[in-house]
C-alpha cells in the first residue's frame, strides 16, 4: 500500500471530522492546518457558536439531505457509546405556523416542519401531535428524539480522536489553497489538499467562491433547564428572526436563539434582539423560568456566529488548482454538525478517487 500525504485546511467541525475519517486509512498521513482551533471564539470561526443539534432541513435529492441522512447513524452511535464526547439525546418538539411558510426562516425550516418529513423513519419516536396538544397559534407540530452537542466538549474530543489516530495538527494561515500542500508535517508535499475553510472559502486564494455568504446567528446561553428541545417555524418580530431552545450535554447550558440574517457580518450582539430572543423563548417554553418571565433567566453569555452559507449548498468536489489536487468540503450553512459525517465520507471518496487515478498514471 502506497503512503499518501494529505493536508486538511480548517479545524472546525467539518475539517476535524474529515481528518478523523481520513485517519482511519492506515496508509494516509494527515496534517490539519488551521487559523482557528477549538478553544478559540472568533467571528471567523463558526463551529464553537453552534447549538448544536440535529434538525434536518435538506430537501430530498440534494447533497445536504444525503449528508444529513448519512450523519445520523454516527451521531447516534457516539451519543450511545461515548459519554465523554458531550452529546446527549433530547426529546424534541417542532411547531409550525402556516403564516411562516414564505418567510426566510419558514423556508429554512420547511422540510423540518413537515408532518411527512423524510426523516420520520430515521429519528426515533417520530409522531405528529394531535390538535388537542397544540399550543395557541400553532397549526401543526411533530415530536421525535434527536441529539444536542456541547460544542465546547465535542470539538476538543474530535481533536483528541484525531491526535490518537496519528493526525498532526498545527496553526497556520494559508493565503492560497495550493500552498497547503507544502505544509504537510512530513516535510514532503501533500498529494491532496482538503479545503474545509467554511466562510473563508469566499476569500481563500485559488478558491474565492463568490457564492459563499454569511447568515448571522445571535444566541443567549442561560443556566435554565427547558426540559425539552424546541423550535418554531417563525416569529412575529421579522422574517429573518427565529426561536429555538436546546440544552447542551454535560452542563453546557441552554442555547436560546436566534436569527438567520443573510449577508450580515456584524460580530457584536444586538441587545434589543437579545431581549426579543429571550422573550420569545420564554413564551414558547414557559417552564424555562417556571412561569416567572424573562427576569428569571440566568444568563451565562451572549454570542454571535456566522453560518457559512453557499448558494447551492455544501460544496464537496475535486478540482486541480495550480497543479495541486484539492477536495473542497465547505459551505455547510446552519447544518455543519448534522451533515458532518456524511459530508466527510463524500470527501473521503473523492480523495480515494484522486489517489487511485494518480497510482494508475
Phi and psi angles of residue 230, each rounded to the nearest 5 degrees, phi first: -145, 155
Q: Which residue has the cell 426540559?
A: 227
The verdict on whether residue 334 carries a ligand-binding annotation is yes
DSSP code of residue 233: S
Quote the CA–CA distance of 148 and 171 in Å, as a whole number. 29
Residues making up the chain, counted from first to last: 361
Distance CA 61, CA 6 (A): 30
Return the SS3 of 156: helix
Ligand-binding annotation for 197, yes or no, is yes
From the CB of 315, what's the least distance to ligand FAD, in Å? 11
Return the number of the residue (96 or 307) whose C-beta is nearest ligand FAD: 307
Joined grid coordinates for residue 156 = 476538543
DSSP reduced 3-state for 183: helix
The stretch among 78-86, 87-95, 105-113, 301-309 that binds ligand FAD (CB under 6 A) is 301-309
With CB under 6 A as the contact rule, which of the stretches 86-94, 181-189, 224-232, 304-312 interacts with ligand FAD?
A: 304-312
- Sheet containing 168-171: order of strands: 168-171, 28-34, 4-9, 192-195, 324-330, 315-321
By CB under 6 A, tell whether 198 contacts ligand FAD. yes
- Tell me how crowded residue 107 is: count the other CB atoms within 10 A of its CB: 16
CB 31 within 8 Å of CB 190: yes
In the complex, least distance from residue 249 CB atom to ligand FAD, rounded to whole angstroms: 13
Would you give the distance in Å from CA 339 to the centre of its chain?
7
Q: Is 202 in the site for ligand FAD (CB under 6 A)?
A: no
* Nearer to ligand FAD (CB atom), residue 241 or residue 355: 241
Binding status of residue 173 toward ligand FAD by CB under 6 A: yes
- Nearer to ligand FAD (CB atom), residue 85 or residue 355: 85
244 labelled binding-site residue: yes
User: Smallest distance, Å, CB 172 to ligand FAD?
Assistant: 6
Residue list 316-355, contact with ligand FAD (CB under 6 A): 330, 332-338
**Strand bridging mode 254-259 / 212-222:** antiparallel
Q: Is 30 annotated as a binding residue?
A: no
Between helices 63-81 and 340-360, what is the axis angle to 10°? 110
Least separation in angstroms between residue 124's CB and ligand FAD is 18
Q: Least Å distance between CB 94 and ligand FAD?
A: 13
Number of residues located near ligand FAD, criterion CB under 6 A: 42
What does the buried/exposed string (b/e) look like for 218-243 if buried means 16 or more CB atoms within 10 Å of the residue's CB? bbbebebebeebbbbbbbebeebbbb
Residue among 5 and 200 whose Cβ is closer to ligand FAD? 200
Q: Tell me which residues in 17-36 interact with ligand FAD (CB under 6 A).
A: 33-36
Query: Does residue 109 touch ligand FAD according to CB under 6 A?
Result: no
| Contact call for residue 308 and ligand FAD (CB under 6 A) | yes
Helix or strand holding residue 278 (H, E): helix 271-284
* CA distance linking residue 163 with residue 353, whole number of Å: 25
Interface with ligand FAD by CB under 6 A: which range of 3-11, 79-87, 105-113, 271-279?
3-11
CA–CA distance, 347 with 225 (Å, rounded to integer): 38
Partners of 283 in the β-ladder: none
The Cα 320–Cα 108 span in angstroms is: 33
- In whole angstroms, how close is the CB of 179 to ligand FAD at the nearest point? 9
Q: Which of 204, 212, 273, 297 binds ligand FAD (CB under 6 A)?
A: 204
| Least gap, CB of 355 to ligand FAD (angstroms) | 23
Between 328 and 355, CB nearer to ligand FAD:
328
Chain residues in the site for ligand FAD (CB under 6 A): 9-15, 33-36, 45-47, 49-53, 172-174, 196-200, 204, 217, 219, 258, 305, 307-308, 330, 332-338
Annotated binding site: 177, 197, 244, 334
Per the annotation, binding residues for D-dopa are: 244, 334
Amino acid at each position: 500500500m502506497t503512503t499518501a500525504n494529505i493536508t486538511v485546511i480548517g479545524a472546525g467541525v467539518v475539517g476535524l471530522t474529515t481528518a478523523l475519517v481520513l485517519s482511519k486509512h492506515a496508509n494516509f498521513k494527515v496534517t490539519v492546518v488551521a487559523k482557528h482551533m477549538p478553544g478559540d471564539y472568533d467571528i471567523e470561526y463558526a463551529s464553537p457558536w453552534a447549538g448544536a443539534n440535529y434538525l434536518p432541513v435538506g430537501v430530498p435529492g440534494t447533497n445536504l439531505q444525503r449528508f444529513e441522512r448519512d450523519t445520523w447513524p454516527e451521531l447516534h452511535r457516539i451519543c450511545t457509546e461515548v459519554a465523554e464526547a458531550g452529546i446527549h439525546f433530547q426529546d424534541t418538539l417542532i411547531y409550525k405556523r402556516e403564516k411562516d411558510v414564505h418567510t426566510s426562516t419558514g423556508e429554512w425550516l420547511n422540510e423540518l416542519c413537515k408532518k411527512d418529513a423524510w426523516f420520520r423513519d430515521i429519528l426515533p419516536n417520530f409522531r405528529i401531535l394531535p390538535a388537542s396538544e397544540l399550543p395557541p397559534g400553532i397549526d401543526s407540530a411533530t415530536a421525535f428524539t434527536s441529539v444536542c452537542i456541547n460544542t465546547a466538549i465535542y470539538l476538543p474530543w474530535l481533536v483528541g480522536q484525531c491526535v490518537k489516530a496519528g493526525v498532526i495538527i498545527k496553526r497556520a494561515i494559508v493565503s492560497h489553497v495550493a500552498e497547503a500542500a507544502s505544509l504537510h508535517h512530513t516535510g514532503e508535499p501533500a498529494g491532496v489538499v482538503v479545503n474545509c475553510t467554511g466562510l473563508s472559502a469566499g476569500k481563500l486564494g485559488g478558491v474565492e467562491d463568490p457564492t459563499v455568504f454569511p447568515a448571522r446567528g445571535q444566541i443567549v446561553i442561560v443556566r435554565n433547564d427547558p426540559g425539552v428541545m424546541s423550535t418554531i417555524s417563525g416569529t412575529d418580530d421579522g422574517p429573518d428572526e427565529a426561536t429555538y431552545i436546546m440544552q447542551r450535554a454535560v452542563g453546557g447550558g441552554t442555547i436560546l436563539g436566534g436569527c438567520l440574517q443573510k449577508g450580515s457580518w456584524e460580530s457584536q450582539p444586538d441587545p434589543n434582539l437579545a431581549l426579543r430572543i429571550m422573550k420569545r423563548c420564554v413564551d414558547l417554553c414557559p417552564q424555562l423560568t417556571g412561569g416567572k418571565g424573562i427576569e428569571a433567566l440566568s444568563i451565562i453569555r451572549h454570542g454571535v456566529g456566522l453560518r457559512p452559507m453557499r448558494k447551492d449548498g455544501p460544496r464537496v468536489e475535486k478540482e486541480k488548482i495550480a497543479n495541486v489536487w484539492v477536495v473542497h468540503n465547505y459551505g455547510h450553512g446552519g447544518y455543519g454538525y448534522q451533515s458532518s459525517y456524511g459530508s466527510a465520507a463524500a470527501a473521503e471518496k473523492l480523495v480515494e478517487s484522486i489517489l487511485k487515478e494518480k497510482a494508475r498514471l
